[in-house]
Amino acid sequence: MTDIPAQANPETAADAETSTAQEQPAAAAATGGHEASDSSAPAADSANEKLHEMADRAGDALSKAADEAADRIVDATQAAITRIRNNATLPAERGTTTIANEVVEKIAGIAARDVPGVYDLGGDTVRVLSAVRERLHLGEESKAQGVSVKLEGKQADLSITIVLEYGFVVSSVTDKVREKAISSVETLLGLDVTNVDILVDDIHVDNEGRVGDDVSRAAGYSSDTTGITVGG
């Protein structure tokens, strides 16, 4: 007797095919999702590293700027304190007389300019700024230009920078500048000038005149500085 193969139930076969068809896309989707996640992970890590680097650089820049600002504030404060303390004090019977350093500098500058052979006071930068200020009508040249002073009690230590006219003997001019500055400050202010340092920063040559004119004006100079008085 011949066996007849059993026929599969059409509904069961259809359900199996449908289940298989549904499982394949789901599996494919699951597999693809893992692959996409795995491929995007290195890119995310790289982006995070760049963000951290940028944050570190920004932090370093801010820290450096803060340090520089703090240093500038400290320097400015120290300079202000030094300038405030740079005053002369003269005890009086019923109080104390305080003389600001600007007053001493101005008097010494006026005295130095009165000496023949001194063309100008101050270094190159100071003179350029002064010339620009005058051209722009922002004020006249400061009488204290080229002069600095260190004061302690009633003692004064002066530093003067001059421009010498060509043809004058350096030592003769500087001796007279020193003598007149000392005489002016001590006589007018009652201070004791302990030292006067003089820097000859430049020599002025008058292009409109002859060198002989300067030589003739300097001919009467000598190194003798005795007898120098205020206004003399």
Question: Each residue's pLDDT tens digit in the chain (232 positions)?
Answer: 555 555 555 555 445 555 555 555 555 455 555 555 555 677 777 788 888 888 888 888 888 888 777 767 765 555 555 555 688 888 888 999 999 999 999 999 999 999 999 999 986 555 455 555 555 444 455 567 889 999 998 999 999 999 999 989 999 999 999 999 999 999 999 999 999 999 999 998 877 555 555 566 566 655 554 443 333 4
d(CA 168, CA 171) in angstroms, rounded, equals 9
Q: What is the CA radius of gyration of the chain?
A: 44
* CB 116, CB 178: distance < 8 Å: no
Structure tokens given for 164: 């010498």
Which residue(s) pair with 118 in the sheet?
164
Tell me the C-alpha distance between 129 and 127, whole Å: 5
CATH node for 94-218: 3.30.70.1350
- The pTM score is 0.51
Which amino acid would we find at residue 23?
A: E
C-alpha closest to that of 119 among 163, 159, 57, 76: 163
How far apart CA 181 and CA 196 sit, in angstroms, is: 8
- Those residues whose C-beta lies under 8 Å from the C-beta of residue 42, and which sit 6 or more positions away, are none
